[in-house]
Amino acid sequence: MSDLSNDPLAISQVREAYDRLMSAFASADTDEYFECFHENASFVFPGEAVLDSRAAYRSTWSRWEREGVRFTDVVAHDVRIHVVGAAAVVTHLIETTVEADGETSVDRERESIVFCKVDGRWLAIHEHLSPEET
């Protein structure tokens, strides 16, 4: 069994990949956002079936847009990065501002994003959102 890495370079590279993903989401740059995920990534979101590919997520995202759902901001708190070899887990608490049906709300959720180093690049391979327990 491998210990969690303290390698500052790996942690920095994962943080950069994470920041890129979060920035693309916050700025509604969907092309950049989806490029942050491996094509075979999986996704678990409240109220949705498990999505087993980036294409399936993109299709779900398109449905949300057709339904009038817009994500207008995201703020992350308590970001933690754990690297083990060529894999990393990022956990955080996020507050996502959502517009739907003319209403604006803020969802508070716990999220885990698993990254894997593929051809020298850190890509997200799994994302799991859960409502924050109060």
Close Cβ partners of 85 (under 8 Å, ≥ 6 residues apart):
2, 5
Mean pLDDT by 10 residues, the chain (134 residues): 66 96 95 98 95 98 96 95 94 96 94 96 97 79
Q: Assess if residue 2 is contained within a domain.
A: no
Q: Assess if residue 1 is contained within a domain.
A: no
Domain of 38 in residue numbering reads as: 8-131
Q: Assess if residue 36 is contained within a domain.
A: yes
Residue 7 pLDDT:
82
Write the CATH number for 89. 3.10.450.50
The Cα 85–Cα 57 span in angstroms is 27
